[in-house]
Structure 1
Amino acid sequence: MRHPEFDAYTKDLSELITYSVKDIGAFHLYSWEWVDNLHFMLPPSRLIEDEARRTQLEEGVLRRFREDAGWEGTGKLSLLWLPPFVFPFSSGVQPEGIIVWHVKQFEDGISYFLSPVALPFEYFVSQDANNDR
């Protein structure tokens, strides 16, 4: 498809998030303080048009943030795109990159991330409880 603003080929939005809510349990969970530039985050409704599917995914993501990260329940979900070139070639990340779920907790500003693949950034490697899976 052609991007409406940039007049160039881009993946269709429906091709970007292809996993189901069942897959979220195996995602990699991280936290960071502070992400203070939210201008490049998108609300899930911009990428996942099917409302029922979006609601299921959001509920699964929020459950992981709450149960596994201690998220207090404040803040709104957003999505962050990471291009493939930020990953080692050996990671096998597809050419379209990956989309990471994010929420910034209101009270203390801590950001939580949930990624379908392990993030290769040094700070995050030690946080990844899924390294053993």
Structure 2
Amino acid sequence: MNPQRDKRRIITYPPETLRTFRVSAYEWIDNLNFTIRPEECLDNASEYVNIAKELFLEAGWDGDGEVELMWVPPFMFDEQQEEVTTAGITFWHVKQLEDGTSWLLSPIKLPFERY
């Protein structure tokens, strides 16, 4: 298998690491064709998803929608962001059904303010 297509290499940290991530809300991410189900990447995806849901709920998420992963390539970030490697950044994402707000759980500070 080509290691660049191995989805098991996307998440390289334990579930509890999510608690160190930042939650942001963004209006609106409408193209979800490039999201990945966590179950495709992790044997214990439910442990991660449960923590992500908890953090999203604490931030104001309504609790609806599917938690997924979303990848952003490294060239989309400021060159000063040392946390961004050539692998880019994978966010945890859920799109709230009622109003379409996207909630993001990120290991780095995102380049926009919370609305």
Secondary structure of the corresponding residue to residue 99 of structure 1: strand
Identity of aligned residues (%): 39
Counterparts of 2:32 and 2:9, CA distance in 1: 24
Q: How has the CA–CA distance of structure 1 residues 101 and 65 changed in structure 2, closer, same or farther, with 3 Å as cutoff?
A: same
**Residues matched between the structures, number:** 113
Q: Which has the higher helix share?
A: 1
TM-score normalised by L of structure 2: 0.88
Q: What is the RMSD of the two structures over their aligned residues, measured on CA atoms?
A: 1.5
Q: Which of the two has higher C-alpha Rg? A: 1
Contact between 1:11 and 1:96, CA under 8 Å: does it hold in 2? no
Specify the alignment match of 2:36 in structure 1.
Answer: 42
Counterparts of 2:7 and 2:37, CA distance in 1: 13
Q: CA deviation at 1:12?
A: 2.5
2:64 is aligned with 1:74: yes
Q: Show structure 1 runs of 5+ residues with no match.
A: 3-8, 128-133
- Match for residue 90 of structure 1 among 77, 80, 91: 80
Structure 1 outlier segments of 4+, above 6 Å: none
2:51 is aligned with 1:60: yes
